[in-house]
C-alpha cells in the first residue's frame, strides 16, 4: 500500500476525506488573509488602539504614584508622606481595573463584530473548505493563528503608538514599557475573542438558537450585576482592591448600553411601519433597511452609545471628584491654610506673622479641641466673628452667616470688647482696694486683650499700690501693648492675689481704665475677692450680663452651630441646649443650638459644633478667671503660600484646602478616564468604519436595482447618508442618556469608594463641559466623515452598477 501524495485526498480512518493542499497551511492562511485584508487590518488597528490605550492608562496611573509627595509638603515627615502615598496607591488599586475593563469591553466588542464580518465575507469559502474535508480542529488552529497574527500586528503598531503618546498623556516611554503585562493580557484576551468569534460565525445558522439563548443569558447577567453594583457600591471604601469598585463603571455602563440597544431596535421597528406606508422611497426605504439590518447595525450602535456614555461618565467623574475632594479638604482644614500649634497657644505674633506672608490675604486664631457631652467625644471649633472671612465656604457646604448670627442670639453670651483706639500704645488701670483687715494682701492686675484678628492675650500690668485718704489703697498698673495686629480691644480685667500666709477679703472697685496714647475708657466694675480666693475677674466685656466677678450660676449659654450628626445623637433640634466639658481641664460650659449645619469647618469628626471665639472666651471667663487659648492659625490665601506660612511658624506642617497626598494619587483617575475615553472614541470610529464599509460591499447588488427603478445615484447616496445618520445619531443620543443615568447612579458613591476622606455631606453631580464637548465633537466629526464617505461611495458605485442575473 502506498502513501497518497500531498496534492490529493486520502481516506481517513472513518472513511471520510480530509483536505491536503498543494500549498501548506501557512500558505492557505496567507491567501485567506489577503482576500480579507481590509477587515483584518481594521481588527489589527482595533487591537493596536486597545493596547495603546491600556498601556497609556496604566503608565499614567503608575507615574502618578511615583511622583506623589515630590516635593513633600512642608513640615511633614518623609515617613508620613510615604504612608500617605501607600494609602493612595491602595485606593487606586480598586479603581484602576475599571479603566482597563472599559477599554477591553469596547475592543472585544469591536473585534468580535469584525470577526463575524470576516466570517460572513468568507461564507462561500468556508462551505467549499468543509466540502473538501477541512476539519473542525484544522479550522480552530487556523482561526487561532489568524487571531494571534492580528494581535501581533496590533501590538507592533500599538506599543510604539503608546510610546509616542506617553508624554502628552503625562507619562514616559519607560512607563509604557513597564505596563507590558497589562498590554499582554489585553492582547491575549482580544486574540481569544477574535478566534472564538470566527468559529462561532462559521457555524452559522446551526448555532443561531444557542447563540440567542447565550446572548439573552449574558444580557440578564449584566443587568443583575449592575443592580448588585448599585446596591453594594455605597458600602465600598478605597482601602485596597474591591471587586465591586473594579467592575462598577463597566457593568453599569454596559447594562445601560444594552438597554439603549434594545430601545434602538424597538424604535427602528416602530418607525419602519409608518414609513413603509408612505409612497415615497425616502424615508420609507432607509427606515425599512435599518429595521431589517438591526443585527448588523447593533454593534455600531452599541459601540457608539457606549463611547458616548463613557465620555459623559468621565466628565461627571472628573468634575464631581474635583468638587467633592476639594470641598471635603476645605471643610476638614477649615481655611485655605491651617497650622496647628498644640500644645502651644496661637499668639498675636503667630497670627500676624502668618498674615504677613505673600499670598495670604487674612489670618486668624482658631480653637480646635475635643469636648465631652455625656460619654461622647465631640469636636469643637471656634473662630472670631471678626475674622470669619478666613473660614472656607467649601463650595457652599459651610454657612458663615450662621456662625455670625449665632453671636447675636438672644439669651446667650454676648461679647462686647472695648476698643483701645488706633493710637493706643499701652493700657493703664487703677483699682481701689478696701480690705477687711489692716494689712490687705498684695494683688496684681491682668488684662485680657484681643487684637484686630480676635487673638486673645493675657497682659500683665505692673504698678504699685498707694494708700488713699479714706484708708483704702489705689493700685495703678500699666503695660505697653505687644506687637500684634492693631487696633486692640479690651475683653476683661482680672485681679490676682499674691500668695501670702494671710488671706483676707477685699472690696475691689475699678477706678479708671485708660488707653495710653488714647483716652479714658468707659469701664466700671466692682467685685469682692473672698478670703481663700486667689483670682477673680473684676470686669468682663459681656454687656453687664454677670455684673463682674464671675458667677457660674449667672453664666449664660453659648450659641453654637451644631452638626446634624451631633443633634441627631443628642436628640435635639434648633433651640435645644446641652452641657459640655472641655477635655482634660475639668472646665464646663453650656450651649444652645442656634442652627444646624451638615458640616463644621475644621472639626475632626462629624459630631461637632462651631462657636464664635469671642463669646466662647466670655463664657469661660464668666465661670473662671482663666480661659482655653486658641491653638491653631487659619489663613485665607493661595495654597502656594504654604511654604512661607510653614517657615514663619517654625516649619510646622500646613494643612491646606487642597486635596492631600492621598487624593493627589487618586487624582490620576481623572486623566485616566479621559485617556480611556479617547481610546474608546478611536475604537468606535475604527469599528464603525469597518462595519459601514462591509455593509456597503454586501449591499452593492441593490444599487443596480434601485437605479433600474429610477432612483438616481445622488438620491441613493442621500438615502444611505440618511440611514447611517439616523442610526449613528440615535446611538449618540441614547449614549448620552445612558451616561447621564449611570453618572447619577454611581458617580458620587464611586468617588467616595476610591478616595479616602470624602465627607458624607459632599455630594451632587457636576460635569466638565469643555472636555466633554471636545470628546463628543471629535466622535461626531469622525462619524460624520464616515457617513459622508459612505454616501459618496454609494453614489459613485450606483452610477456604474447594473442589474445582474442573480439580482433578477
Q: Are 507 and 525 in contact (CB under 8 A)?
A: no
Q: Quick one: cell of 73? A: 509638603
DSSP element (H, E) containing 400: helix 400-406
Q: Which range has the top average pLDDT, 40-44, 304-308, 685-689?
A: 304-308
What is the percentage of the chain residues whose pLDDT exceeds 70? 83
Instruction: Give the model's pLDDT for residue 16.
Output: 38
Q: How far is CA 663 from CA 323, 479, 639, 751, in A?
A: 12, 49, 15, 11
Beta strand segments in 232-359, E: 337-340
Res 5 pLDDT > 50? no
Angle (nearest 5°) at CA 423 between 421 and 424: 70
CA of 556: how far to CAs of 299, 309, 621, in Å?
A: 72, 58, 11
For position 8, what pLDDT does the model report? Answer: 40
Over residues 755-770, mean pLDDT:
83
779 C-beta neighbours (distance < 10 Å), count: 24
What pLDDT, on the 0 to 100 scale, is given for residue 230?
Answer: 86
Residues 303-319 pLDDT 10s:
899 999 999 999 999 99
Alpha helices by DSSP H, 608-699 = 613-623, 642-648, 661-666, 669-698
pLDDT band for 419, please (50, 70, 90 cuts).
very high
Q: How many CB atoms lie within 10 A of CB 123?
A: 12
In the numeric block, the cell 494671710 is attached to 502
pLDDT band (50, 70, 90) for residue 780: very high
All cell numbers assigned to 366:
482658631
Instruction: Supply the pLDDT for residue 468.
Output: 77
Q: Which of 91-100, 450-459, 541-550 has the lowest mean pLDDT?
A: 541-550
C-alpha cell read off for 126: 468556508
Domains of the chain by start residue, with CATH: 20-330+661-800 (no CATH), 335-415+555-656 (no CATH), 418-540 (2.60.60)
d(CA 444, CA 226): 74
Is there a contact between 303 and 105 (Cβ–Cβ < 8 Å)?
no
Q: How confident is the model at residue 276 (pLDDT cuts 50, 70, 90)?
A: low
Cα separation of 654 and 75, whole Å? 7
CB 325 within 8 A of CB 332: no
Distance from C-alpha of 185 to C-alpha of 170, rounded to nearest angstrom? 23
The least confident of 8-17, 333-342, 363-372 is 8-17
pLDDT class for 275, splitting at 50, 70, 90? Answer: low
User: Between the ranges 26-30, 550-554, 592-596, 793-797, where is the mean pLDDT highest?
Assistant: 592-596
Which among 580, 514, 687 is positioned nearest to 109, based on CA atoms? Answer: 687
Q: For position 756, what pLDDT does the model report? A: 81
Per-residue pLDDT, averaged over 586-603, amounts to 88
Give the per-residue pLDDT at 6.
39
Tell me if 378 sits within 8 A of 580, measured CB to CB.
Answer: yes
Q: What is the average pLDDT across 41-63?
A: 88
User: Collapsing DSSP states into helix, strand and coil, what is residue 563?
Assistant: strand
Stretch 112-117: mean pLDDT, rounded? 78
State mean pLDDT over 379-405: 85
The residue with greater pLDDT, 374 or 75, is: 374
Per-residue pLDDT at 279 exceeds 70: no
588-597/558-563 β-pairing: parallel
Between CA 560 and CA 799 the distance in angstroms is 83
List the one residue out of 197, 154, 184 whose CA is nearest residue 45.
Answer: 154
Residue closest to 789 by CA, chosen among 679, 675, 696, 660: 696
The more confident residue out of 358 and 402 is 358
Q: What is the pLDDT of residue 739?
A: 93
Q: Tell me the β-bridge partners of 384.
A: none
pLDDT (mean) for 445-468:
90
Highest-confidence range of 19-33, 162-176, 704-718, by mean pLDDT? 162-176
**Quick check: helix, strand or coil at residue 110?**
helix
Instruction: Name the residue with higher pLDDT: 33 or 625.
Output: 625
∠690-673-677 over CA atoms, to 5°? Answer: 20
pLDDT interval class at 445 (50, 70, 90): very high
Determine what percent of the chain is predicted with pLDDT higher than 90. 24
Using 50, 70 and 90 to split pLDDT, how confident is the model at 554? Answer: low
Q: Mean pLDDT lowest for which of 123-132, 384-393, 573-582?
A: 123-132
Question: Angle at the Cα of 228 (from 227 to 233), degrees rounded to 5?
Answer: 105
Q: What is the Cα–Cα distance from 414 to 542, expressed in whole angstroms? A: 5
In this predicted structure, the answer to whether residue 213 has a pLDDT above a threshold of 80 is: no
CB count within 10 Å of CB 545 equals: 17
Residue labelled with grid coordinates 480676635: 454
pLDDT at position 121 over 80: no
Task: Give the pLDDT band of residue 19 (cuts 50, 70, 90).
Answer: very low
When mean pLDDT is compared across 123-132, 192-201, 761-770, the lowest value belongs to: 123-132
What is the rounded average pLDDT of the residues 732-745? Answer: 92
Which of 387, 407, 332 has its CA nearest to residue 635?
Answer: 387
485-529 per-position pLDDT tens digit: 788 999 999 998 887 766 778 888 898 999 988 888 988 888 888
Terminal-to-terminal C-alpha distance of the chain: 53
How far apart, in Å, are the Cα atoms of 779 and each of 158, 679, 766, 776? 20, 11, 22, 5
Backbone torsions φ then ψ of 391, nearest 5 degrees? -75, 130
Look at residue 206 in the predicted model and tell me its pLDDT. 42
Q: When comparing pLDDT for 666 and 277, which is higher?
A: 666
User: Does residue 202 surpass a pLDDT of 60?
Assistant: no
Cα–Cα distance for residue pair 657/654, rounded to 1 Å? 10
pLDDT of residue 588: 87
Out of 217-221, 601-605, 722-726, 773-777, least confident range: 217-221
CA gap 199, 105 in Å, rounded: 20
pLDDT of residue 215: 55
Give the CA distances from residue 582 to residues 272, 368, 620, in Å, rounded to whole numbers and listed in that order.
76, 11, 10
Mean pLDDT of 141-154: 79
Please give the pLDDT value at position 77: 75
pLDDT of residue 498: 81
Characterize 244-276 residue by residue with b for buried, 16 or more Cβ atoms within 10 angstroms of its Cβ, and e for exposed: bbbbbbbbbbbbbbbbbbebbbeebeebbeebe
511 against 23, higher pLDDT: 511
Q: What does the mean pLDDT of the chain come to?
A: 81
What separation in angstroms does the CA of 498 have from each of 52, 160, 431, 503, 750? 81, 84, 15, 10, 64
More confident residue, 127 or 119: 119
Give the pLDDT confidence score for residue 804 in this predicted structure. 53
Find out whether 211 and 200 touch, Cβ atoms under 8 Å: yes
Say which residue, 611 or 711, is predicted with more confidence. 611
Mean pLDDT of 321-341: 89
What mean pLDDT is predicted for residues 607-634?
90
Per DSSP, the residues of 730-746 read: HHHHHHHHHHHHHHHHH
Quick one: cell of 560? 453654637
* DSSP classification of residue 556: P
Mean pLDDT, range 434-457, rounded to an integer: 84
- Higher per-residue confidence, 293 vs 130: 293
Greatest Cα pair distance in the chain: 150
- Tell me which residue of 122, 104, 91, 103 sits closest to 236, measured CA to CA: 91
Most confident by average pLDDT, 116-125, 277-286, 526-535, 765-774: 765-774
pLDDT of residue 222: 79
Rounded distance between C-alpha atoms, residue 537 and residue 515, angstroms: 19
Decide the pairing of beta strands 473-480 and 426-435.
antiparallel
**Average pLDDT in the 593-612 region?**
89
Three cell numbers, residue 709 = 427603478
For residues 671 and 659, give the distance between their C-alpha atoms in angstroms, rounded to a whole number: 16
Amino acid at each position: 500500500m502506498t502513501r497518497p501524495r500531498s496534492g490529493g485526498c486520502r481516506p481517513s480512518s472513518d472513511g471520510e476525506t480530509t483536505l491536503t493542499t498543494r500549498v501548506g497551511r501557512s500558505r492557505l492562511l496567507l491567501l485567506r488573509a489577503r482576500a480579507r485584508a481590509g477587515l483584518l487590518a481594521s481588527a489589527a488597528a482595533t487591537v493596536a488602539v486597545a493596547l495603546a490605550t491600556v498601556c497609556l492608562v496604566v503608565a499614567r496611573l503608575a507615574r502618578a504614584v511615583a511622583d506623589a509627595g515630590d516635593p513633600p509638603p512642608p513640615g511633614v515627615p518623609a515617613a508620613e508622606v510615604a504612608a500617605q502615598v501607600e494609602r493612595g496607591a491602595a485606593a487606586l488599586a480598586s479603581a484602576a481595573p475599571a479603566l482597563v475593563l472599559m477599554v477591553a469591553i469596547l475592543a472585544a466588542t469591536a473585534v468580535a463584530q469584525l470577526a463575524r464580518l470576516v466570517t460572513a465575507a468568507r461564507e462561500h469559502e468556508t462551505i467549499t473548505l468543509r466540502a473538501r474535508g477541512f476539519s473542525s480542529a484544522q479550522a480552530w488552529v487556523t482561526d487561532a493563528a489568524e487571531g494571534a497574527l492580528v494581535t501581533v500586528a496590533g501590538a507592533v503598531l500599538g506599543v510604539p503608538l503608546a510610546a509616542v503618546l506617553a508624554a502628552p498623556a503625562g507619562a514616559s516611554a519607560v512607563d509604557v514599557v513597564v505596563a507590558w503585562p497589562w498590554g499582554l493580557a489585553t492582547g491575549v484576551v482580544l486574540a481569544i475573542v477574535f478566534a472564538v468569534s470566527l468559529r462561532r460565525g462559521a457555524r452559522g445558522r446551526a448555532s443561531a438558537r444557542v447563540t440567542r439563548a447565550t446572548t439573552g443569558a449574558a444580557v440578564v447577567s449584566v443587568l443583575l450585576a449592575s443592580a448588585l453594583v448599585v446596591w453594594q457600591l455605597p458600602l465600598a471604601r478605597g482601602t485596597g482592591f474591591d471587586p465591586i469598585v473594579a467592575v462598577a463603571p463597566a457593568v453599569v455602563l454596559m447594562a445601560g448600553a444594552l438597554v439603549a440597544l434594545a430601545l434602538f431596535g424597538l424604535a427602528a421597528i416602530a418607525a419602519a411601519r409608518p414609513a413603509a406606508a408612505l409612497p415615497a422611497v425616502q424615508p420609507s426605504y432607509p427606515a425599512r433597511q435599518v429595521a431589517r439590518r438591526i443585527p448588523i447595525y447593533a454593534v455600531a450602535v452599541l459601540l457608539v452609545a457606549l463611547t458616548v456614555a463613557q465620555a459623559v461618565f468621565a466628565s461627571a467623574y472628573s468634575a464631581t471628584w474635583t468638587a467633592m475632594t476639594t470641598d471635603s479638604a476645605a471643610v476638614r482644614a477649615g481655611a485655605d491654610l491651617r497650622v496647628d500649634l498644640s500644645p502651644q497657644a496661637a499668639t498675636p505674633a503667630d497670627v500676624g506673622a502668618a498674615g504677613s506672608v505673600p499670598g495670604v490675604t487674612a489670618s486668624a486664631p482658631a480653637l480646635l479641641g475635643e469636648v465631652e457631652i455625656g460619654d461622647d467625644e465631640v469636636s469643637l471649633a471656634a473662630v472670631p466673628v471678626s475674622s470669619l472671612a478666613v473660614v472656607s465656604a467649601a463650595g457652599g457646604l459651610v454657612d458663615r452667616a450662621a456662625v455670625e448670627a449665632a453671636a447675636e442670639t438672644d439669651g446667650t453670651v454676648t461679647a462686647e470688647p472695648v476698643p483701645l483706639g488706633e493710637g493706643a500704645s499701652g493700657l493703664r488701670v487703677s483699682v481701689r482696694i478696701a480690705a477687711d483687715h489692716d494689712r490687705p494682701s498684695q494683688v496684681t492686675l491682668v488684662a485680657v486683650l484681643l487684637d484686630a484678628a480676635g487673638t486673645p492675650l493675657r497682659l500683665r500690668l505692673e504698678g504699685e499700690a498707694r494708700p488713699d485718704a479714706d484708708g483704702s489703697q489705689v493700685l495703678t498698673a500699666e503695660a505697653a501693648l505687644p506687637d500684634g495686629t492693631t487696633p486692640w480691644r479690651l475683653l476683661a480685667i482680672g485681679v490676682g492675689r499674691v500668695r501670702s500666709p494671710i488671706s483676707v477679703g477685699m472690696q475691689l472697685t475699678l477706678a479708671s481704665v485708660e488707653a495710653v496714647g488714647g483716652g479714658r475708657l468707659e469701664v466700671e466694675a466692682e467685685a469682692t475677692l473672698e478670703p481663700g480666693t486667689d483670682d477673680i475677674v473684676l470686669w468682663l466685656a459681656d454687656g453687664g450680663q454677670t455684673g463682674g466677678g464671675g458667677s457660674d450660676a449667672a453664666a449664660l449659654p453659648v450659641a453654637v452651630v451644631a452638626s446634624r450628626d451631633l443633634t441627631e445623637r443628642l436628640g435635639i433640634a434648633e433651640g435645644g441646649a446641652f452641657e459640655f466639658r472641655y477635655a482634660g481641664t475639668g472646665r464646663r460650659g453650656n450651649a444652645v443650638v442656634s442652627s444646624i449645619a451638615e458640616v463644621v469647618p475644621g472639626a475632626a469628626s462629624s459630631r461637632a459644633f462651631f462657636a464664635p471665639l469671642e463669646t466662647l472666651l466670655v463664657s469661660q471667663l464668666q465661670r473662671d478667671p482663666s480661659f482655653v487659648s486658641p491653638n491653631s492659625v487659619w489663613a485665607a490665601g493661595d495654597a502656594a503660600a504654604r511654604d512661607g506660612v510653614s517657615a514663619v511658624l517654625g516649619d510646622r506642617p500646613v494643612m491646606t484646602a487642597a486635596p492631600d497626598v492621598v487624593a493627589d494619587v487618586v487624582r490620576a483617575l481623572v486623566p485616566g478616564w479621559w485617556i480611556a475615553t479617547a481610546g474608546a472614541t478611536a475604537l468606535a470610529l475604527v469599528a464603525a468604519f469597518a462595519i459601514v464599509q462591509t455593509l456597503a460591499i454586501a449591499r452593492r447588488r441593490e444599487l443596480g436595482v434601485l437605479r433600474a427603478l429610477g432612483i438616481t445615484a445622488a438620491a441613493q447616496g442621500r438615502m444611505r447618508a440618511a440611514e447611517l445618520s439616523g442610526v449613528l445619531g440615535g446611538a449618540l443620543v441614547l449614549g448620552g442618556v445612558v451616561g447621564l443615568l449611570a453618572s447619577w447612579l454611581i458617580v458620587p458613591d464611586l468617588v467616595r469608594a476610591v478616595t479616602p476622606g470624602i465627607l458624607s455631606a459632599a455630594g451632587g453631580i457636576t460635569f466638565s463641559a469643555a472636555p466633554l464637548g471636545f470628546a463628543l465633537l471629535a466622535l461626531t466629526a469622525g462619524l460624520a466623515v464616515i457617513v459622508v464617505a459612505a454616501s459618496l461611495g454609494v453614489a459613485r458605485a450606483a452610477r456604474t452598477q447594473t442589474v445582474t442575473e442573480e439580482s433578477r
